[in-house]
Amino acid sequence: MSAYPQMRLRRLRRTDWMRRMIAETHLTPADLILTTIVSDAGPDRVDIPSLPGVQRLSIKALVEQAQNAADLGIPAMAIFPNISDSDKTEDAAEAANPKGLVPEAVRAIKAAVPDIGVVVDVALDPYTNHGHDGLMEGETILNDPTVEMLAKVGVMLADAGADIVAPSDMMDGRIEAVRQGLDDAGHTDVAILSYAAKFASGFYGPYRDAIGTSAALKGDKRTYQMNPANIDVALREVELDLIEGADMVMVKPGMPYLDVISAIKAEFSRPTFAFQVSGEYAMMKAAGANGWLDYDRIMMEALLSFKRAGCDGILTYAAIEVAERLKNAGV
Ligand code: PBG
């Protein structure tokens, strides 16, 4: 076996072409799922202070963004709703309204931009007046009644044309219920992307501002989202979701949980996604705006780290700007 001084690993780092030639992982626009916020009130575009560069969009502006993303080679987009306070209730009834904001947005995108995939989040938190992902009785988040409702919401969104439904609530048994609901309604081709390993994280702050739940949220989500200290149970959540019928699984947040992504990919070899959540994006933007870090560079490095960890794709608020940069670089 050769060793230094015959073997010199720096030989293969000498030039740009050499570094490109031996790169083990690559980032392309096809790795990105654009994360968007749609709003049912106000002007077409409204800045979100804690999420610089991201705006709450009207359906019209969302369709324009969908076209933009499709033109850049981004395969899919995920939609999150900012619902007017007057439509938020204890029972989240608006979540199941077939004429609601999300199904209308899905229909509009599918009509105008048929070749972008549409991912819809299935959870109740944008629609509850307490900001939780489940129905409540007193202080308790009710599992089974929530699951029943999620299955209905999933079917309604598939009826509207969603290609992928993504339950993000962390109730037990919801993947099986959603799959059953979809199949019974004839939506056998609609895929499920499960937020299988979702942690009770401080990194969701800006998202809760964006969809207007941060003021309302009572308590925290630790009785359903996972403890950041744990990895064994993350593998168990993924295993159960796959058994229940998930086509793809997701880890959320992303960068603080690269070990979880890597373990899941190694164990199950299934399509595995990461959600680069609002707080990850916002802290990079903030450091960039302060001149402390080179934003473009660290965003690329962060996204590449997901690929290296084994991800098949990344949900990110930065999808459009990153795809533009990749295009300019000839990727
Ligand atoms: C909840 C949901 C959350 C996000 C997506 N769906 C936050 C939460 O659990 O409170 C976070 C997304 C982000 O931070 O970018 N159903």
* Mean pLDDT confidence for 250-255: 98
- pLDDT per position as a tens digit, 96-155: 999 999 999 999 999 999 999 999 999 999 999 999 999 999 999 999 999 999 999 999
- On whether residue 46 sits in a domain, the answer given is yes
What is the number of structural domains in the chain? 1
Instruction: Please indicate, yes or no, if residue 12 is contained in any of the structural domains.
Output: no
Residue 11 domain-assigned (yes or no): no
Would you say residue 5 lies in a domain? Answer: no
Give residue 218's pLDDT band: very low, low, confident or very high (50, 70, 90): confident
Ligand 1 nearest-atom number relative to CA 168? 16
Cβ(305)–Cβ(255) under 8 Å? yes
- Check which CATH number belongs to the domain holding 158 and give it: 3.20.20.70
Angstrom distances, CA of residue 230 to CA of 141, 167, 180, 256, 309: 21, 21, 30, 12, 18
pTM of the model: 0.97
- Does residue 10 belong to any structural domain of this protein? no
Domain assignment present for 13: no
Domain assignment of residue 295, yes or no = yes
The SS3 of residue 187 is coil
What is the predicted pLDDT for the residue at 215?
Answer: 78
pLDDT for position 19: 97
Q: Is the pLDDT of residue 51 over 90?
A: yes
The parent domain of residue 290 ranges over: 25-328
Measured from the CB, is residue 201 less than 6 Å from ligand 1?
no
Tell me if 116 is assigned to some domain: yes
Q: Is 224 in the pocket of ligand 1 (CB under 6 A)?
A: no
Give the confidence band of 216 by pLDDT, cuts at 50, 70, 90.
confident
Which residue is catalytic, options 198, 221, 285, 307? 198
pLDDT for res 111: 98
pLDDT at position 213 over 90:
no
Q: What is the largest CA-CA distance in the chain?
A: 72
Where does the chain show beta strands of DSSP type E?
Answer: 32-39, 45-47, 55-57, 76-82, 117-122, 135-137, 140-142, 164-167, 191-198, 248-252, 272-275, 313-316
